């Protein structure tokens, strides 16, 4: 059985803890994760000065379909991803096709909501941005249709494990959680 494929777009200002948690947990589960920089360089500076190196430039992923696109937060990073129209078009295509897309922290409010990707959906985000969501739910992780949202760095691990569950099954998610002593 072929591993599910995941795209994680990053930009200067992406929340470093969320990025690393997503990449680490999804790869632990055996998923095929591609980290893609929307910047001209592969290496971006995330929050707290943490340098993140992408596998590819985002522009080189345009012809590839993914089972999941997971957008990290960080206010500046989420705003930069919001301005990247090829990414927004890819997210819209993901939604239209009923394939998974996800966002955490500021990204639901600053990347997804401005483009109508949360219209009619319940979602969550970093609480300071809750007024920007059409249907805010105060939960760590919210799944509505093919969309998964989460609140922030402190919820990154349950968010990543939920994504594993959705792509690889509950047993795999529990296995990865046990390996990390997260029960």
Question: How long a stretch of residues is the chain?
Answer: 183
d(CA 53, CA 19): 11
- Is the pLDDT reported for residue 57 higher than 80? yes
Check residue 79 and give its pLDDT: 98
- Is the pLDDT reported for residue 137 higher than 80? yes
| Average pLDDT of the chain, as a whole number | 97
The reported pTM is 0.97
Q: So where are the chain's domains?
A: 5-177
Catalytically annotated residues:
105
Q: Which CATH class is domain 5-177?
A: alpha beta
70-89 pLDDT tens trace: 999 999 999 999 999 999 99
- Is the pLDDT reported for residue 1 higher than 80? no
């Amino acid at each position: 059985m072929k591993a599910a494929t995941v795209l994680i777009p990053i930009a200067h200002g992406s929340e470093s803890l969320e990025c690393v948690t997503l990449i680490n947990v999804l790869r632990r589960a055996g998923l095929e994760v591609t980290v893609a920089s929307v910047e001209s360089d592969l290496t971006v500076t995330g929050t707290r000065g943490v340098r993140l190196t992408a596998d590819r430039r985002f522009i080189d992923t345009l012809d590839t379909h993914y089972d999941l696109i997971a957008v990290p937060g960080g206010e500046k990073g989420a705003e930069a991803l919001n301005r990247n129209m090829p990414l927004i078009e890819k997210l819209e295509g993901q939604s239209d096709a009923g394939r998974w897309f996800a966002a955490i922290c500021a990204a639901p409010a600053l990347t997804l909501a401005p483009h109508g990707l949360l219209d009619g959906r319940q979602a969550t985000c970093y609480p300071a941005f809750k007024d920007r969501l059409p249907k805010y739910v105060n939960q760590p992780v919210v799944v509505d249709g093919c969309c998964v949202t989460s609140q922030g760095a402190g919820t990154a691990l349950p968010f990543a494990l939920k994504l594993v569950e959705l792509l690889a099954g509950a047993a795999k998610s529990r296995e990865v959680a046990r390996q990390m002593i997260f029960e």
